[in-house]
């Protein structure tokens, strides 16, 4: 029970790594604000069962990351709960694959809007809530493509690289206030996003890994749990690869 008594905010919790993080956080005793773009009946049933089984509170918060007003309303909803927020996990993201010369400015801006600008905006709001108690942990989900590059993924890789630079800057600014900020760089993880990747890109990345297989969302969630919990209380400003040994 690494997170008993803690309250976490998780974006992108509807599926993939976000859903796996939701589950491992609940099983470790955290109360959770589960942020997602939309709430469907299946997800509502899932969080109802999970919260009941784990004896924690899970509150869905729905907003579109492309809508700044909606992001602010989502943060206000969390603020109004009057709970101290201990953990923020930024998982929500979007991918757009195209070779460098095929990337339109519109697509590039949209990818940055979702993967970077909205993450910064939401983190500004939520870390302001953390300032009151003078402690907190933020985990940003980046990607190994941000560190290594990957043909066909200019928009995604660049936006995730920006998130790493922001992580390092935020960690320096917020450390004096007791807030740690770290990033994870997952490799090829079995999610809807990587299922939609062109097969040649996915195969090439898997072939480069020591473990020669895709990772599973709960294998990333374990690393998120480590960075969110006090197990990593002397760790900030770091980027940890969870990639099966690529590079």
Partner 1 sequence: MTNIEKYTECFVNAFELQDEAGVQSLEYQSIEQWDSAGHMVLIAMLEDCFEIMLETDDIIDFSSFEKGREIIKKYEVDL
Residue numbers at the binding site for partner 1 (CB under 8 A): 72, 75-76, 79-80, 82, 124-125, 128-129, 131-132, 176-177
For partner 1, the closer of residues 107 and 135 by Cβ is 135
Does the annotation count 125 as an active-site position? no
Q: How far is the CB of 202 from partner 1 (least distance, A)?
A: 38
| Neighbour-count burial of 44, counting CB atoms closer than 10 A to its CB (0-12 exposed, 13-18 middle, 19+ buried) | exposed
Q: Which is nearer to partner 1, 121 or 193 (CB)?
A: 121
End-to-end Cα spacing for the chain: 34
Inter-residue contact 88 to 9 (CB < 8 Å): yes
Phi and psi based region of residue 232 (left: phi greater than 0; alpha: psi -120 to 50; beta: remaining): alpha
Beta carbon of residue 131, minimum distance to partner 1 (angstroms, whole number): 4
CA 78, chain centre distance (Å):
17
Q: What is the smallest separation between the CB atom of 7 and partner 1, expressed in angstroms?
A: 15
Cβ-based nearer residue to partner 1, 162 or 242: 162
In 3D, which of 21, 76, 31 has the Cα closest to residue 56? Answer: 31
Taking the C-alpha atoms of residue 13 and residue 85, their distance in angstroms, rounded to an integer, is 17
Nearer to partner 1, 98 or 121 (CB): 121
DSSP 210: S
State the nearest-atom distance from the C-beta of 72 to partner 1, in Å.
5
Q: Which of 46, 125, 156, 234 is catalytic?
A: 156
List Cα–Cα distances, 129 to 140, 147, 238, in angstroms.
17, 31, 22
- Which residues have a catalytic role annotated? 156
């Amino acid at each position: 029970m690494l997170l008993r008594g803690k309250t976490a905010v998780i974006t992108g919790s509807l599926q993939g790594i976000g859903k796996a993080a939701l589950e491992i956080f609940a099983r470790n005793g955290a109360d959770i604000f589960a942020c997602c773009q939309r709430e469907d009946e299946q997800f509502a049933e899932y969080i109802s069962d999970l919260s009941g089984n784990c004896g924690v509170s899970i509150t869905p918060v729905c907003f579109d990351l492309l809508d700044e007003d909606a992001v602010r309303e989502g943060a206000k909803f969390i603020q109004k709960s009057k709970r101290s927020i201990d953990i923020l996990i930024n998982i929500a993201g979007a991918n757009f694959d195209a070779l460098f010369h095929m990337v339109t400015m519109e697509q590039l801006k949209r990818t940055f809007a979702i993967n970077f600008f909205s993450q910064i905006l939401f983190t500004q709001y939520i870390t302001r809530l953390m300032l009151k108690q003078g402690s907190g942990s933020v985990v940003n989900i980046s990607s190994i493509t941000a560190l290594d590059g990957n043909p066909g993924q200019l928009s995604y890789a660049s936006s995730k690289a920006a998130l790493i630079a922001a992580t390092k800057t935020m960690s320096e600014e917020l450390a004096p206030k007791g807030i740690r900020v770290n990033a994870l760089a997952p490799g090829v993880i079995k999610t809807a996003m990587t299922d939609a990747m062109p097969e040649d890109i996915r195969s090439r990345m898997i072939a480069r890994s020591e473990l020669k297989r895709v990772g599973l969302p709960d294998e990333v969630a374990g690393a998120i749990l480590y960075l969110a919990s006090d197990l990593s209380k002397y760790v900030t400003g770091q980027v940890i690869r969870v990639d099966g040994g690529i590079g």
